[in-house]
Amino acid sequence: MLQDTFGRTIDYIRVSVTKQCNFRCQYCMPETPMDFFEDENYIPLENVLAFLKVAIDEGIKKIRITGGEPLLRKDLCAFIASIHQYAPEVQIALTTNAFLLKKYAASLKDSGLGRINISLDSLQAHRVLKISKKDALGAILEGIEEAQNVGLKIKLNMVPLKGINDDEIIAMLEFAKSKGILLRYIEYMENTHAKAQLKGLQEADILNVIAQKYTFTLVEKENFGPAKLYQTQDGYAFGIIAPHNDDFCKSCNRIRLTAEGMICPCLYYQNAIDSKKAMLKGDPKEMKKVLHESVTNKPEKNQWNQEVMPEEISARAFYVTGG
């Protein structure tokens, strides 16, 4: 079992398989050139698989594949199938921008993927283009439909931004509701890679907007997840992920592995353990050692509310950690 120094059991790992992306979201990597290509430092997926087998043997029960955009990896379905074959009981999930999802949904499902989180910030084509620099709305909607058709469980993630898409908070809720999908609003997390001057809405702002049309109640915290769940009077549940608050740190059960082999214990904590050497060597004992070190390295809470220069706490790129 993996237990940190604060008594939390760690049974969830998020695995970034690439830093590259076909989008350039304003809150994530707006200034990175589209031809950015730098994958020589990536850990081969067969080594990542060997590491994940060790992690599963040590108690990992849920694996989320993320990026960058994970569907850019041509070997992704084979990777997922190998994890599933090793441990069919482990829950495998994916976070994607869904641009390529229509093409891959059926193969992903066949490989053993159970769940998909899809990032969708607007239902207006020109806004999706403005936010992500990709004319992508049509492809995303087709991807959602196909994923539902093949039986993948879906959640939608929206990052509400002032003056950009905050007038679509209710439209997104009604869209998700019409599809029978859980929508989670994610507070924009300031970071040095995002477009300057971007302003996000926080939980209270988002709830105020929804309250203009719906009555709702707080249901519960998602099981070991960072989202709080609310339910409208007519029974639709939606979530809010509010990292500016550290009360979800108490039940944090996750670590993050980057495509280059760094294990990050928390999104807003700079220290990370470099597992590259152990992973490339492929020695299970060494991989087990770095895994345990990375769990011991987990801080009690994220550093949002500490008096640290914002630049210091937010230098980590979302397209590196996988969000």
**Which parts of this chain interact with ligand SAM (CB under 6 A)?**
21, 27-28, 66-67, 69, 95-97, 119, 157, 159, 186, 188-189, 191, 194, 318-319, 322-323
Q: Which of 2/267 has CB closer to ligand SAM?
A: 267
Is 187 within 8 Å of 202 (Cβ atoms)?
Answer: yes
258 binds, among ligand SF4, ligand SAM, none (CB under 5 to 8 A by kind): none
The set of residues, in sequence order, having a beta carbon less than 8 Å from that of 250 and lying 6+ positions away, is 8
Q: Is 54 in the site for ligand SF4 (CB under 6 A)?
A: no
User: Which of ligand SF4, ligand SAM, none does residue 253 bind to, with CB < 5 to 8 Å depending on kind?
Assistant: none
* Per CB under 6 A, 316 contacts ligand SF4: no
Which position among 15, 17, 60, 68 is part of the footprint of ligand SF4 (CB under 6 A)?
68
97 forms part of the interface with ligand SF4 (CB under 6 A): yes
Q: Which does 24 bind (CB under 5 to 8 A by kind): ligand SAM, ligand SF4, none?
A: ligand SF4
Query: In 3-state terms, what secondary structure has residue 174?
Result: helix
Q: Which does 186 bind (CB under 5 to 8 A by kind): ligand SF4, ligand SAM, none?
A: ligand SAM
Q: Which does residue 188 touch among ligand SF4, ligand SAM, none (CB within 5 to 8 A, set by kind)?
A: ligand SAM
> What is the number of helices (H) and of strands (E) in the chain?
11, 12
CA distance 307 to 310: 8
CB 49 within 8 A of CB 19: no
CB of 203 to ligand SAM, least distance (A): 13
User: How would you list the strands of the sheet with 254-257, edge to edge?
Assistant: 216-221, 227-232, 237-241, 182-186, 153-158, 115-119, 91-96, 62-66, 12-16, 254-257, 262-264, 273-274
* Residue-wise DSSP of 47-107: HHHHHHHHHHHTT--EEEEESS-GGG-TTHHHHHHHHHHH-TTSEEEEEE--TTHHHHHHH
Identify what 291 binds: ligand SF4, ligand SAM, none; CB under 5 to 8 Å per kind: none
Would you count residue 318 as binding ligand SF4 (CB under 6 A)? yes
Candidate list 2, 17, 29, 76; residue touching ligand SF4; CB under 6 A? 29
